[in-house]
Structures are given as C-alpha cells and as structure tokens.
C-alpha cells in the first residue's frame, strides 16, 4: 500500500482505500493527494 506523496514504483491504476476512486499513476511521479490518511492499492499494472 502506498500513501499520497510517495514515489510511484509501478505505473498502473490504483484505488484509494477510503473513497474507492481509481487513479492512473506513472512510475517515478508522486501519488496524488486524496482522502486523509488513505492509502493506494494497485488494481492493474501497466507498462
């Protein structure tokens, strides 16, 4: 699980553990801000 502001290690689609929104994240960028104290879970990896 990953938190907002952490560096993305694997590009893909991630789901917020609180609001269940899905976001596309790119390797090397930071996870976006979302719900307070939420974590992101990888749903589907991409290249």
Express each pLDDT in 9-26 by its tens digit: 999 999 999 999 999 999
Label residue 8 by pLDDT band (50, 70, 90): very high
Buried b or exposed e, range 21-43, using 16+ CB within 10 angstroms? eeeebeeeeebeebeeebbbebe
**Predicted structure pTM score:** 0.90
Q: What is the pLDDT of residue 47?
A: 83
């Amino acid at each position: 699980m990953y938190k907002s502001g952490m560096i993305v290690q694997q590009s893909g689609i991630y789901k917020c553990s609180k609001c269940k929104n899905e976001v596309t994240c790119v390797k090397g960028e930071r996870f976006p801000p979302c719900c307070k104290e939420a974590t992101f879970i990888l749903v589907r990896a991409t290249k």
